[in-house]
């Protein structure tokens, strides 16, 4: 079995075991269903990209930490977005 196939099997096992848990963590942090879906996907993508550096110890803690970090980063970026709230702000945004 080649390395890529092994990593895909490991990812599949992670998804099967922790998909609902990761989504729950993301939803608790973001309070947004669709953002939680996106962050769940980002979590497993990041896990796949870093499987070669994972030591295999405590996969649950590892995947939960990735999910938490992804969501916290998302929330920081969301708080930095400036959304105009009235007509004056809208005019300034497009000038």
Express each pLDDT in 7-66 by its tens digit. 899 999 999 999 999 999 999 999 999 999 999 999 999 999 999 899 888 999 999 999
pLDDT at 86 over 90: no
pLDDT at 78: 85
Q: How far is it, in rounded angstroms, from Cα 35 to Cα 4?
A: 29
Res 5: pLDDT: 87
Report the length, in residues, of the chain. 95
The gap from C-alpha 9 to its chain's centroid, in whole angstroms, comes to: 20
pTM: 0.80
Rounded Cα–Cα distance for residues 23 and 78 (Å): 18
How far, CA to CA in Å, does 15 sit from each of 11, 21, 45, 69, 79? 6, 10, 10, 18, 29
Q: Scanning the structure block, which residue is given the tokens 């969501």? A: 71
């Amino acid at each position: 079995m080649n390395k890529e196939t092994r990593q895909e099997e490991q990812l599949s096992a992670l998804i099967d075991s922790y998909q609902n848990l990761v989504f729950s963590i993301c939803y608790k942090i973001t309070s947004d269903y669709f953002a939680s879906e996106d962050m769940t996907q980002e979590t497993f993508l990041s896990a796949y990209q870093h499987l070669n550096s994972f030591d295999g110890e405590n996969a649950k803690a590892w995947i939960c930490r990735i999910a938490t970090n992804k969501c916290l980063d998302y929330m920081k970026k969301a708080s930095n977005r400036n959304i105009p709230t009235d007509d004056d702000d809208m005019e300034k945004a497009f000038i």
